Amino acid sequence: MSGALRIISAGPGVTIQDAGRRGLLRFGVTPAGPMDQDAFMAAVLAAGDADGAAIEVSIGGVELIAEGLALGLAIAGGSFDIRLDGRALPPACALRLEPGERLSLRPGRAGAWCYVAPFGRFDLPLVFGSLSTHSRAGIGGLDGRMLGRDDILPVTDLRPPPDRLLAIGATWLEAARTKLRVLLGPQDDYFSHDTVETFFSSRWRVSARSDRMAYRLEGPPLRHLKGHDLVSDGLAFGAIQIPGDGTPLVLMADRQPTGGYPKIAHVIGSDLGPLAQARPGDYVAFERVSWETAVAARRRRADLIAAGPRLASEPGEISTEFLLSWNLIGGVVDAKEVD
């Protein structure tokens, strides 16, 4: 059996993403994939397919309906305002969407990305083994582009939708962090000791000039000790480049495969989700940790994901205490900052 999702409206940045294209960076192919891997995994696992794909919703929001058959959907990510025919839903939930019902996701109190995973499989062509959209290259997803009004996403291999609204709890979702953990280097020797300390002691504002390729951070310029050009080398998700103007660029899911600016540090894998959920205008800060700490955090995250999410029936009245008990992801903010 098959059904479909129709996009009624979508803001900029709404795309189809799966886990991404792996093993192709050496050929110049960017992995793409979700900005927040942790929230993405919460959605696809709750939908019953660890290898599945989801609609990645930006703060531009989306509204959609089911066509043909009722569809099961799992939603997880930032604290978005999620409504089914106008009725507010928990920020992380699994539901049954009947034909004609309208599901909307709009930015709520925090968070930049949210994921909608079907109880089934998007019937779209793979590109290099993946559905992930890389809009700059024009590959993946629906015609290699962002989703827009009246787009139809066929869904096949349907699994039974939930018969009632369920709240999703994923223990691996990090709560909002006031400081993101990083590993120093590999080109921290391109900066003086004082500049490195400035990097760690400063609060950085996420610029409006941020996207799936990189988050630009506003703050004191970081001056290079011996120039800002080097032989291009590979770039990882979370690498923090310092170009000639001294403005940190944190490379994200749609990063270029290689780059020639010095990298002062890398955000550890376990903190990429909280980083991705920072909106333009939010503040972030960094703290250095050891390799051992980074590996231990990654192992703990892997163990929690392997255990899977929790699903529970929605209570009659959704209280603040109930929502907090599910450890929902939020943005990265500094409570002391007033703006």
φ, ψ at 113 (rounded to 5°): -140, 145
What is the rounded distance in angstroms from the CA atom of residue 127 to the CA atom of residue 144? 9
Separation of CA 139 from chain center: 19
Q: Where are the domains of the chain?
A: 2-169, 180-296
Which H or E element spans position 205?
strand 204-206
pLDDT, one tens digit per residue, over 204-259 is 999 999 999 999 999 999 999 988 888 888 899 999 999 999 999 999 999 999 99
Mean pLDDT confidence for 182-210: 96
Question: 232: number of CA atoms within 13 Å, CB side?
Answer: 6
Residues of the chain with pLDDT > 90, as a percent, come to: 80
Instruction: Read off the pLDDT of residues 142-173 as tens digits, 9 standing for 90 and up.
Output: 999 999 999 999 999 999 999 999 999 988 88
Q: Which helix (H) or strand (E) holds 114?
A: strand 102-118
What is the rounded CA–CA span in Å between residue 233 and residue 26? 11
pLDDT of the residue at 229: 80
pTM to 2 decimal places: 0.90
- 117 sits in the region (left: phi over 0; alpha: psi -120 to 50; else beta) called beta
pLDDT tens track for 83-92: 999 999 999 9
What is the model's pLDDT at position 232?
85
Q: What is the pLDDT of residue 339?
A: 42
CATH number corresponding to 180-296: 2.40.100.10
What confidence tens digit (pLDDT) does each residue in 128-138 have? 999 999 999 99
DSSP code of 27? G
Position 338 pLDDT exceeds 70? no
Model confidence over 275-332: pLDDT tens digits?
Answer: 999 999 999 999 999 999 999 999 999 999 999 999 988 654 444 544 554 444 444 4
d(CA 158, CA 193): 57
Strand partners, 134: 139
pLDDT digits (tens, 9 = 90+) for 5-28: 999 999 999 999 999 998 898 888
Task: Give the whole-angstrom CA distance, residue 224 versus residue 199.
Answer: 12
Nearest to 217 by CA among 243, 194, 196, 195: 243
Instruction: Give the pLDDT of residue 254.
Output: 95
Determine the pLDDT at residue 325. Answer: 44
Q: What percent of the chain has pLDDT over 70?
A: 91
Per-residue confidence (pLDDT) for residue 313, from 0 to 100: 81
Would you state the pLDDT for residue 182? 98
The predicted pLDDT at position 331 comes to 47
**What is the overall mean pLDDT for the chain?**
90
